[in-house]
Structure 1
């Protein structure tokens, strides 16, 4: 049997070709406790037929045993024993599903304030955030916190899913009030592409299928938005070449020397000029991969670079092309507190930037953002507590080629680490400022 061809003689595109060519969208769910995130994710998996028959049968049995009317779709998501017992999401859970138009990687994040660090992790690689609120409560502090983090991390598209709309009688007035408050906050933060959808994850209203219960809403379902929002690849390819050395590879028998790592941003080809530390310049003599030599590499590729000149380089050094990053010992940044141990002005820490790990100091905590608004920001703080977002000034013992945060972490992100325990105290974004 021969493959179908077009009139020009070229092989005709098949349905399998179309499926294989689908783009992948990375998204993240966020919201407060009991806003229904797990049920929402379970509804997406169920309605896109991404649940195996035995999984569905197990959910049916467990739902019946608990006296639940219908299916408790949250059981498809909350996999940890502690999550099932408490009825809350604790860890970031990655789910995979697909439709005819697109494939999806979904990070389901916790709603508890104490797990905000996990939410930051989930958002950091996402192109879209689906932010859930309970229609009975509307926009709350945790909603604003998650919206602020999304903006800081460069997420352009946020979908506000006003969940449990059935519990307020599918009230258009309630929905409009929540939408107005959210739109105002999104505009204040500079969110580029906000959407608001009334849903009931439990009943399936406007999640994957339009609801007859909301005739006053003529917009798309959440799934329709996810299928049609342009996939944002983070534009890391549009930045200048950046490559942090992870390992120096040496083979004395053959005199092989290369520098292994992952391309953070931009692209590089054999023969291109390379900007090395301390003002040195060389060129690319070769690019090696696990599959053999290649002529070029781009953002996301793991490679080993061979250089034309012997230069004393080590782990943590940055190789660049295009513009040369400025080496500094002091910079401004925004940080998110990730532990109960506060981050104080004057505190000595370790700073991880790329593959570099250097001694540093929190020179000052300049401002802690007030996410509630009415009280005003704390412009004379002494410390950054768990989950707080603050503007700080960092000083480092050694010069670092830091750059403003861009392309969802391609450049400009760092961690502050406790010197004694080794625990991560805060995640930071160079140069980022809000309000």
Structure 2
């Protein structure tokens, strides 16, 4: 059984890259994912037969509408748009991929935020036929800003539908230059640009004879070589939110007490000194378990159980960190939030804040600014936020929270807000 567990855990860490597609409406995001799945042999024969019979095909009779591989909702196929985030899985001999197809419509920007929150890289599509002069559409800017805001380190700009502009190298160069200017304003340090046609398959998996002027890799080759984790300024320290307290053995001196959860950041070893936040009591790691297997070291991303060398007060929602870690403890802090609810932000309402496994009451003290995606700058927020708005706020919580900035450690720098009356998730937030 332990051997099976080891094999399963190794498989989970075998070069998995989590991606999200972003961009404006009709840039070809769903078609691109369908092309990746089809050309990498990640589609079953019955799936192909199903979409071939679909009454919602939007391509020529003898062609396959690959967008239907991801647009699974009836409303999506009927309207020819993407509404919900669809996740698809495929693999090559070099890497496994989890790819999310995000909606392009502005009213579904919140769906893009949820999809990008677990991604490591973003493919930003640009329709070359609508950007012949290099002008980028507002939603392309919005999604790029969100990708930067959410800390995605790797941006791939897929200049799609190059076949509609006659594979004109000048059009490609103008779009690449426009995106370089946008990246400079947003603080995106590095990005890659690939000319392609998702519908025809040029430069997606195989190189295209239509782009002799392009010397870079195909999209899939590029994705296979991207680093599989977010690039942070420094290696983040270990962070471990307690999800479950495990006890058995009754009240005997040999009773078992362990703390289960997922380790984030750096590794943790048996014998390491740790402290439990927010109260700050210290102990040492006596045992680490992966399932029922004792291990000497756990890596970030692993689900483990920690056993301490002495009994101290540890509950669900507490945070275990290295004994010398510097973590901010606060009930008041600034953050950026993306407002997800149709009902506007109301500072008079009570909200629940969920950070990791910790849940506490929260309220808005101040709504400072709102980000204008068109001008790429902050403007006065007038004390509230509408759906899809991104704003800088100050929050007050009932309980003390252990906080890191989101760019330093996403595990403790991210949170969601839940309306106490409706129980709807109303915002996603990042500590700044």
> What is the deviation of 1:61?
4.2
Q: How do 1:57-96 and structure 2 match up within 5 A?
A: 57-62=49-54, 68-96=61-89
Match of 1:274 in 2: 274
Q: Identify if the C-alpha distance between structure 1 residues 214 and 288 changes in structure 2 by more than 3 Å, giving closer, same or farther.
A: closer
Check whether the contact 1:264–1:410 (CA below 8 A) recurs between aligned residues. Answer: yes
Q: Does the alignment pair 1:248 with 2:245? A: yes
Cα separation, 2, equivalents of 1:216 and 1:293: 55
Q: In structure 2, do the counterparts of structure 1 residues 299 and 72 end up closer, same or farther at CA, with 3 Å as the change threshold? A: same
CA contact (8 A) 1:346 1:364 kept: no
Of the three residues 32, 37, 42, the one matched with 1:45 is 37
Deviation at 1:234, TM superposition (A): 5.6
Counterpart mapping for 1:381-420 below 5 A: 381-406=382-407, 409-420=410-421
* Structure 1 stretch displaced more, 40-49 or 337-346: 337-346
Gaps of 5+ in 1: 1-18
Q: Distance in 1 between matches of 2:214 and 2:112?
A: 30
Distance 1:338 1:429 in 2: 14
Cα deviation for residue 182 of structure 1 reads 1.0
Structure 2 CA distance for partners of 1:185 and 1:125, relative to 1, 3 Å = same
State the Cα distance separating 1:60 from its structure 2 match.
Answer: 3.7
- Specify the alignment match of 1:151 in structure 2: 148
Residue in 2 aligned with 1:111?
Answer: 104
CA-to-partner distance for each residue in 1:364-397, whole Å, 9 max, x for gaps? 11111111018x5323431111111111111112
Going from structure 1 to structure 2, the CA distance change for 1:257 and 1:35 (only over 3 Å counts) comes to same
Of stretches 418-427 and 341-350 in structure 1, the one that deviates more from structure 2 is: 341-350
Q: CA deviation at 1:346?
A: 5.2
Give 1:63 deviation, angstroms.
Answer: 7.8
Structure 2 residue aligned with 1:5 = none
Measured after TM superposition, the shift of residue 285 of structure 1 is 2.2
Asked if 1:177 corresponds to 2:170, the answer is no
Aligned 1:29-428 pairs, distance under 5 A: 29-62=21-54, 68-138=61-131, 139-232=136-229, 238-251=235-248, 252-254=250-252, 255-277=255-277, 278-321=279-322, 322-345=324-347, 347-373=349-375, 377-406=378-407, 409-428=410-429
Which deviations, in whole Å up to 9, do the C-alpha atoms of 1:197-223 show, x marking residues without a partner? 222111122222222333333332212
How many residues matched?
Answer: 412
> Are the aligned partners of 1:154 and 1:406 in contact in 2 as well (CA < 8 Å)?
yes
C-alpha displacement at 1:122, in angstroms?
1.9
**In the alignment, what sits opposite 2:3?**
none
**Residue 21 to residue 150, structure 1, CA distance change in 2 (3 Å):** closer
8 Å CA contact retained: 1:125, 1:408: no
Q: Is the 8 A contact 1:162 1:199 kept in 2?
A: yes
Q: Distance in 2 between matches of 1:124 and 1:68?
A: 38
Give yes or no for contact 2:236–2:409 (8 Å, CA) kept in 1.
Answer: no
Structure 2 contact 356–411 (Cα < 8 Å) conserved: no
C-alpha distance 23-302 of structure 1, shift in aligned 2 (>3 A): closer
**Compared CA separation, residues 103 and 380, structure 1 to 2 (3 A):** closer
Following superposition, the deviation at residue 352 of structure 1 comes to 0.9
Distance 1:148 1:132 in 2: 14
TM-score when scaled to structure 2? Answer: 0.88
Can you list the C-alpha shifts for 1:176-215, whole angstroms capped at 9, x where unaligned? Answer: 2222211111122121221222221111222222223333
Q: What SS is found at the alignment partner of 1:367?
A: strand
Contact 2:126 2:159 in 1 (8 A): yes
Q: 1:407 to 1:97 in 2, by over 3 A?
A: farther
Counterpart contact for 1:157–1:192, Cα < 8 Å = no
Name the counterpart of 2:6: none
**1:4-23 matched pairs, under 5 angstroms:** 23=15
Asked if structure 2 preserves the Cα contact closer than 8 Å seen for 1:242 and 1:265, the reply is yes
For residues 383 and 13 of structure 2, the distance between their equivalents in structure 1, rounded to whole angstroms, comes to 52
2:238 touches 2:266 (CA, 8 Å); kept in 1?
Answer: yes
